[in-house]
A and B are shown apart, each in its own frame.
Chain A
């Protein structure tokens, strides 16, 4: 793909230098992504932040210092940082053995299990929170068995974060681990190095950038944690994200919310900068082999013990919460809660809750189309080898929506996109647009490495052998790119299905999505409502699982970080 692309059309003079034509092509590729992010991300976020910092028409920047100095806010900052650090450490501790097992050991059901451990990652936090309450809350499984309750303790939050991000470590670190050439370590041992020394000097340095990248992703996700902390933490614990929600939605202190948004923005931007650096290091440093040749059946007591303990962890930490959810959804006889979903009760909804399934699928389909076209264009631009610093800047920019408060984006949409030509206030398009913002980073992450991996020599060889350009594209590019596109689309689809934070603010009351419907049912008293929430969560989980299993079948050897 490192070739010059002539998208500017015939008006480009043939005498133009190679480089400037490449630049122009890249520019053309990036127009749409940049426009999209400008209009649907930067502008709404700037609008809501400006509303907070310019309440009377002039800037009140002095409030920034005031807010940051407030002891309550400092407490929130401190809690946000340390819980994210603790969550990251705990996730690494628990998931690294898993990464090894999924990378280096062959066992039956590995594919299915890899799809299953990814389910939590794309589940909406409100469902994760609910699953964990069903496990560690009052009357939960632990309470029933041993009288242990962890709700409103920080342990529930940390465990839920591990549950959530297990797949990030398994996929990022495990993905690389499976492609490291094991012969290097063997050679070192042959030369007399002890097992631990060989691992320390050969494998660990090779893995370090991947571990760093995974840690930073987990840190980013837990630093901006909302639903988990909101549901499991009770009133005492708040992350920045939760505090932004409380200040915007409850206290209506837009100034404080704006300052906190800026603080979070700064923090996330630095995390992403570090992340970008580690990714670059990782990309340049290693020669990789096919993952299929590095994995083998477990040998020896150590490997078997490791496999068993990893499987036990996955069962306890991931399957159990999901299972508790399913069990609760089945507590009423004869599928009672599921059947109740088809009735219009006049209570929580104007429509039968089951319609949320249709809404969710419709929104997610549109969001996926958007995310794939925007993210695909961006990935095509980013994949070019001569990409300079400003292209990497775009890379980070496209990641930012993952770190900006969904409440801020949601409220921003409401106040910024309310005038012609972009009067989208009552349009259902708002929801897929917000979801696409979250989907694009995943599409980019999946597409870029694949696009970079297309070996230009293959194409050249084909052309030399007389293939038409169409045939080259069909036989060489399409199979690779189509596969990656489908994988990216599947991920964008699953993430869109689960998006909650922004959707909850902009979903129209008569058009709830699955996660919004679950949250609304949980907010109503009464056992039937609770049961219906569990049933809807189960349906959402199954839809996500199916999407992920299809993905797993399409996995290429070199998918991106997810």
Chain B
């Protein structure tokens, strides 16, 4: 009877070997890819990366490299994955680390130095790490409370404008925000309050906000598309909250992505609640194609990309000479005095603040 089992084992062994062969085939593919990488430059980014096709074509024509993009979920996860794989990175350039996470990337040695061509045209307030030049600023965006215009028009009451307004009983149970521990705008909003009320005052403020009925959901998608009554998604989903933590560029997006386009945006921005995020790109420490990566960084701060970016990713350029699209000027004028915070100060306090925020607001 031994033979029976032997055959059985042999059959399974053959199966195993077949799998092994498949695996070899797979690593063969990887080798081919490695050969091709001399002419390809790989950009690793978060899921919000977007660019016009003709702009990519222009980069490929002028630089001679083929652009390959690896998008990877949300910003925080993409940064962490890049750090974990930094010895053997998945690409050459990483785009999408913002000022709230910058220190984490720098401390972990994610990037190598490179001074991008054209960095002198970037507005000075966005340049950081001037000695080592490990990152290149690419865009900025403001995290702000958005309001549903129709809601406040109907009631004849003014929408809130400042952080102080939000704790006014008049706006009780109206605001929805995101989990500061898991969401980038959620963290931005927490940092706005920390910048405004200081290290000791922000928790008092959040206590008041909590007592005034702020609702916290896990991510931006849920807050903006399901809970907020002013967005296209929220209206369909029957959203019930007329105030939401989103971006200053959300109102123009509501116009541009509507069919037919309305004359004015259905939502507005409470300009006294904003926190400025700056997004950076950098050459990965162990990039396989550093030359291609440098060409890509030059391109990211170049005028062509900077002027293409706003309507694709709904952010603002960092270059002083980049034109801002009309729809932005019309439906979402730049925020005059946003709160912001030095990446080092954020690094020093972020984890502790998020922790006490979590126990204060969520538990």
Contacts and interface: CB of A to CB of B under 8 A. Distances in A.
A410 to B, nearest CB: 10
B272 to A, nearest CB: 26
A75 B19 contact: no
Interface in A343-381: 346-348, 350, 366, 369-370, 372-374, 376-377, 380
B241 to A, nearest CB: 12
Interface stretch (B2-10, B125-133, B192-200): B2-10
Interface in A67-101: 71-72, 75
Contact of B362 (A139, A235, A369, A509): A235
B208 interface: no
B88 interface: yes
B76 interface: yes
Contact of B224 (A3, A473, A525): A525
Interface in A316-360: 346-348, 350
B85 A472 contact: no
Given A427-B27, A427-B30, A236 B15 contact: no
Nearest to B76: A250
Contact of B218 (A4, A139, A235, A427): A235
B1 A459 contact: yes
A188 interface: no
Interface stretch (A176-184, A393-401, A416-424): A416-424
A524 interface: yes
Contact of A249 (B22, B77, B233, B359): B77
B70 interface: yes
B259 to A, nearest CB: 12
Given A426-B90, A526-B233, A246 B1 contact: no
A508 interface: yes
B87 A418 contact: yes
A527 interface: yes
B83 A252 contact: yes
Nearest to A527: B236
Interface stretch (B137-145, B291-299, B350-358): B350-358
A380 B5 contact: yes
B227 to A, nearest CB: 8
B257 to A, nearest CB: 8
Contact of A1 (B5, B33, B236, B354): B5
B221 A525 contact: yes
A138 B238 contact: yes
Interface string A385-425: 00000000000000000000000000100110011000111
A138 B84 contact: no
Most chain B CB within 10 A, of A3, A51, A250, is at A250
A61 interface: no
A114 interface: no
B70 A427 contact: no
Interface in A449-471: 456, 459-460, 463, 469-470
Contact of A525 (B13, B85, B233): B233
Most chain B CB within 10 A, of A230, A380, A509, is at A509
A7 interface: yes
Given A235-B217, A236-B362, A251-B354, A469 B18 contact: no
Interface residues of A, number: 75
B329 interface: no
A369 B19 contact: yes
A489 to B, nearest CB: 10
Contact of A5 (B6, B224, B236): B6
A148 interface: no
B233 A3 contact: no
Contact of B12 (A3, A348, A377): A377
A523 interface: yes
A414 B78 CA distance: 13
B29 A3 contact: no
A414 B225 CA distance: 33
A6 B5 CA distance: 8
B19 A370 contact: yes
Contacts of B218: 230, 234-235
B238 A373 contact: no
A51 B47 CA distance: 27
Contact of A472 (B4, B33, B104, B358): B4
A558 interface: no
B279 interface: no
A428 interface: yes
A369 B27 contact: no
Given A463-B1, A525-B225, A373 B358 contact: no
A63 B181 CA distance: 21
A469 B236 contact: no
A469 B5 CA distance: 10
Interface string B221-246: 10011100001110011100000000
Interface in A246-295: 246, 248-253
Given A253-B351, A414-B81, A469-B1, 11 more contacts: A138-B238, A235-B181, A235-B182, A350-B71, A380-B12, A411-B84, A425-B90, A456-B1, A472-B4, A505-B81, A525-B233
Cβ-closest 5 pairs across A and B: A235-B179, A373-B15, A5-B5, A469-B3, A429-B26
Interface of B: 1-9, 12-13, 15-16, 18-19, 22-23, 26-27, 29-30, 33, 47, 50, 53, 69-74, 76-77, 79-81, 83-85, 87-88, 90, 104, 179, 181-182, 216-219, 221, 224-226, 231-233, 236-238, 257, 351, 354-355, 358-359, 362-363
Interface of A: 1, 3-7, 25, 28-29, 32, 51, 71-72, 75, 138-139, 152, 230, 234-236, 246, 248-253, 346-348, 350, 366, 369-370, 372-374, 376-377, 380, 411, 414-415, 418-419, 423-429, 456, 459-460, 463, 469-470, 472-473, 477, 481, 504-505, 508-510, 520, 522-527
5 contacts: A5-B5, A6-B2, A7-B5, A346-B50, A526-B257
